[in-house]
Amino acid sequence: MESMKEYIEEAEKDLLHTYNRYQVVLDKGDGVYLYDIEGKKYLDFCSGIAVFALGYNNQKYNDALKAQIDKLIHTSNYYYNVPAIEAAKKMKRVSGMDRVFFTNSGAEAVEGAIKAARKYAYLKDGCTDHEIIAMEHSFHGRTMGALSVTGNPKYREAFQPMIGNIRFAKMNDFESVLENVTDKTCAILFETVQGEGGIYPAEESFMKQVKALCEERDILLILDEIQCGVGRTGYMYAWQKYGIKPDIMTSAKALGCGVPVGAFLMTEKVAANSLTSGDHGTTYGGNPLAASAINIVLDLFEENHIIDNVKEVGAYLAEKLDTLVAEYDCIETRRGIGLMQGLVFNKPVGDIITKALEKGLILINAGTDIIRFVPPLIITKANVDEMIVILRDCLEE
């Protein structure tokens, strides 16, 4: 067996260096724990960046995927397949939306949402100069369209020119949105809870004002629920907390719990007046394997009362993090909803995250000064206590 060091050296020779990875080779998982190839155990408060909602090695999930692999993995979208039909029906039920398009990732879901919004506007006036308002500090993905609406110049700089006619407003600042609205605005896009940008939830008043503006001017409201969706906030989709329904919504990450799958969903009104045959497509999107992952995930969410657990344990996590805020001068505040929480420090957090990893706790950042907590949604209060003990050790050091 090769050593961890040998595997890492091999990876650095063969893989394109676009990630500064932690010096760990992970091998297997069970519940809320991961194990590296040397057998070291880690408590996981990252869940593959808010992906592995049901934890690792869930037998029903594994069995469902194995059964589908034995039947049929891929057909292309020239044909129908039963898992995709069932997955679309379930997604409509949990989201309250009317139409679904399956993608392979969150970034692709954002690309589709942008195209749908532009086509909707094009069909109204035949023009191609429509504008989209996105938010500063947002993150929507790395593909060219998703990058164009990502409100962080450092991600965009080297890849200019982006797709055009994008304006940036300030999150939770309605006046800033109004300043950017023109008669060419076709959509307003934001994450219901900003993830990468620092765990900023949209305020209810802001969402209501934006929604009213959109309805008044026939502008489409696009909500990015890629990270904050699929139960993470204690609601199946974070916008459901406020009852403010988007015209288009994106979903991914926990939707497949590890199988690469995403989706964008829309109301019937948008579906009837935007993308049509030949406008958009994907080779793999909604294939039987990916769709069967969605089906078992949504079934297990219901069966295991995942949303109830997020509400209960999320409140407990928030309470424990607030205790740390009160206790340590280096921590300024806590932000978040449910099991999507952030601790804001007055210094970079890289060293703390590295120390935590050495002590068997996996954490990630959101920006240089924020530790992000996005554990599997099956965690218990005992897991929170275990995490707090290790984190406190790191802070003491």
Q: What percent of the chain has pLDDT over 70?
A: 100
340: amino acid identity, one letter:
M
For tokens 């309470």, name the residue: 319
Instruction: Count other C-beta atoms under 10 Å from residue 138's C-beta.
Output: 21
Q: Which domains does the chain have, with CATH numbers?
A: 4-54+305-396 (3.90.1150.10), 60-303 (3.40.640.10)
Query: Which pTM value belongs to this model?
Result: 0.96
DSSP 227-247: TTTTTTTSSSSGGGGTT---S
Mean pLDDT of 332-337: 97
Contact 222, 189 (CB under 8 A): yes
Confidence of residue 1 (pLDDT cuts 50, 70, 90): low
Contact 33, 41 (CB under 8 A): yes
The 3-state secondary structure of 173-202, one letter per residue: CHHHHHHHCCCCEEEEEEECEECCCCCEEC
Query: Is the pLDDT at 397 greater than 90, yes or no?
Result: no
Angle (nearest 5°) at CA 302 between 300 and 54 = 40
Distances (CA, A) of 167 to 106, 189, 324: 21, 10, 38
Residues forming a β-bridge with 343? 334, 371
* Contacts for 211 with CB less than 8 Å, ≥ 6 apart: 221, 244
Half-sphere exposure in the Cβ direction for 213 (13 Å, CA): 23
Mean pLDDT of 326-342: 97
For the chain, give the mean pLDDT.
Answer: 97
Contact 231, 254 (CB under 8 A): yes
308 membership: H or E segment, kind and range: helix 306-327
DSSP 310-351: HHHHHHHHHHHHHHHHHH-TTEEEEEEETTEEEEEESS--HH
Per-residue pLDDT reduced to its tens digit, 28-60: 999 999 999 999 999 999 999 999 999 999 999
Per-residue pLDDT reduced to its tens digit, 337-370: 999 999 999 999 999 999 999 999 999 999 899 9
Rounded distance between C-alpha atoms, residue 342 and residue 189, angstroms: 22
Rounded distance between C-alpha atoms, residue 275 and residue 270, angstroms: 8
* Contacts for 318 with CB less than 8 Å, ≥ 6 apart: 334, 336, 341
Confidence of residue 80 (pLDDT cuts 50, 70, 90): very high
Order of strands, sheet of 248-251, starting from the edge strand that comes earlier in the sequence: 99-103, 262-266, 248-251, 220-224, 185-191, 131-135, 166-169
Distances (CA, A) of 143 to 162, 185, 278, 366: 10, 22, 21, 20
Give the chain's radius of gyration (CA, Å). Answer: 21
